[in-house]
Amino acid sequence: MTIFRTTLATLLFAGTALPAMAESHGMETPITYGPRPFYLINMMEDGDLKDKLASCTGQAPAKSDWSVGHRGAAMLFPEHTAEGYTAAAQMGAGIVECDVTFTKDKELVCRHAQNDLHTTTNILASDLASTCATPFSPASGDTKAAAECRTSDVTLAEFKTLVPKMDAANADAISVEGYMDATAGWRTDLYAAQGATLMTHAESIDLMKGLGVKFTPELKSASVEMPFDGFTQEMYAQKMIDDYKNAGVPASDVWAQSFDLSDIKYWIENEPEFGAQAVYLDDRYEAEDDDEGLIDYMDPSTFKPSMQDLADMGVKYIAPPMWVLLTLDDVGKMVASPYAKAAQEAGLNIITWTLERSGPLATGGGWYFQSVTDATDTDGDYFTILDALHNEVGVKGVFSDWPATVTYYANCMGL
């Protein structure tokens, strides 16, 4: 662990001045795997895949668009910060994500949700705690601690005074300090301890241009009713695209995302160059009530709209979570699910999320790996999952909280 942290600290230190250097001197962002991919390979069961991955240990690391930095490098760095984005680029992520939401004065910023400031920043311990839609209330008896703080309740200037932290909250806490101190044991507060840097959407674009990476912004659903003070959903969707146009970023370098199909259709109709790579984030994967548009990923008859319907609308990219794309066959091998096969048949490009997100595979892996839990024993099986996503599903990219793992696989397989 000491070697691991020292390596990351070196990366972070080197990365703080990197964007300006890259831009002014034409330098490429230096790519390094760090020790983790090799640690994972050593944990794998003996076999052809392990042998292939081990054979690549001497290769020169290179950037890959198959490797997508999920909120930066969120396994260990505070998400949506300059430091996290830089770390993702230095681990070879060819594409890095800024989740986009808006402030009270309708400025776009990078946050996973409009209402996550209470779990991702120090707002509850700051003078801005009074702006929170739901003030902090401590746990009491069977009642859990709670709070809700929104970017739409603070101005951009106020937002920039906040200090980011690892995304977590302790629902059993009886104090603000206890509520904020909840980082999972397999993550770390090391790279938040001395402060990290929040970013506007425009600032993230400038940073990523300097780092030489491409973009996958996600237009987040608003926690407030739209229109918001005259700011309509369409204006919101357009403003996000305009930031790339104003920065001179070609549409071919941008994969705009949304869980709201109407946003995807808006871009297809009004910004066709950007719409050509718009990514429909599909979260309709719980089969409970077909009237609500929910789907069973193992039953194509529940896909409404169907994969072909989506393709006919002009959708070219679809992105469900990893577990929706994989299932186990009769001998326990990871294979493409009916959902994945239907997307393939409709000619949709598939992207997926999120590797190394919900906990070690040795303890089950959590939500993101639920369909293949019976086939995973150690964290080395992250590579088994990647191999199935590549060979069985044919995904075009994988979001990861630690991009070096995906970058290593992509480089080794020539993706």
- pLDDT at position 289, please? 54
What's the rounded Cα separation, in Å, for the pair 229 and 107? 13
3-state secondary structure of 19: helix
What's CA 359's distance to the chain center, in Å? 15
Q: How many helices (H) and strands (E) does the chain have?
A: 17, 15
- pLDDT at position 9, please? 36
What's the rounded Cα separation, in Å, for the pair 21 and 17? 7
Q: Which residues touch 40 (CB under 8 Å, ≥6 apart)?
A: 379, 380, 382, 383, 405
- C-alpha closest to that of 401 among 188, 143, 106: 188
Could you tell me if 368 and 400 are in contact, meaning their C-beta atoms sit under 8 angstroms apart? no
pLDDT per position as a tens digit, 329-342 = 999 999 999 999 99
Neighbours of 15 (CB within 10 A): 20
- pLDDT at position 14, please? 38
What's the rounded Cα separation, in Å, for the pair 376 and 382? 8
Render 161-221 in DSSP notation, one character per residue: T--B--S---TT-SSHHHHH----TTS-STTTTT---B-BHHHHHHHHHHHT-EE--EEPP
- pLDDT at position 291, please? 57
CA angle at 163 for the pair 212 and 30, rounded to the nearest 5°: 20
pLDDT per position as a tens digit, 29-56 = 899 999 999 999 999 999 999 999 999 9
- Per-residue pLDDT tens listing for the chain (415 residues): 333 333 333 333 333 333 433 343 345 789 999 999 999 999 999 999 999 999 999 999 999 999 999 999 999 999 999 999 999 999 999 999 999 999 999 999 999 999 999 999 999 999 999 999 999 999 999 999 999 999 999 999 999 999 999 999 999 999 999 999 999 999 999 999 888 999 999 999 999 999 999 999 999 999 999 999 999 999 999 999 999 999 999 999 999 999 999 999 999 999 999 999 999 999 988 655 555 567 899 999 888 899 999 999 999 999 999 999 999 999 999 999 999 999 999 999 999 999 999 889 988 899 999 999 999 999 999 999 999 999 999 999 999 999 999 999 999 999 9
- C-alpha closest to that of 99 among 90, 108, 87: 108
- pLDDT at position 363, please? 86
pTM for the structure as a whole = 0.92
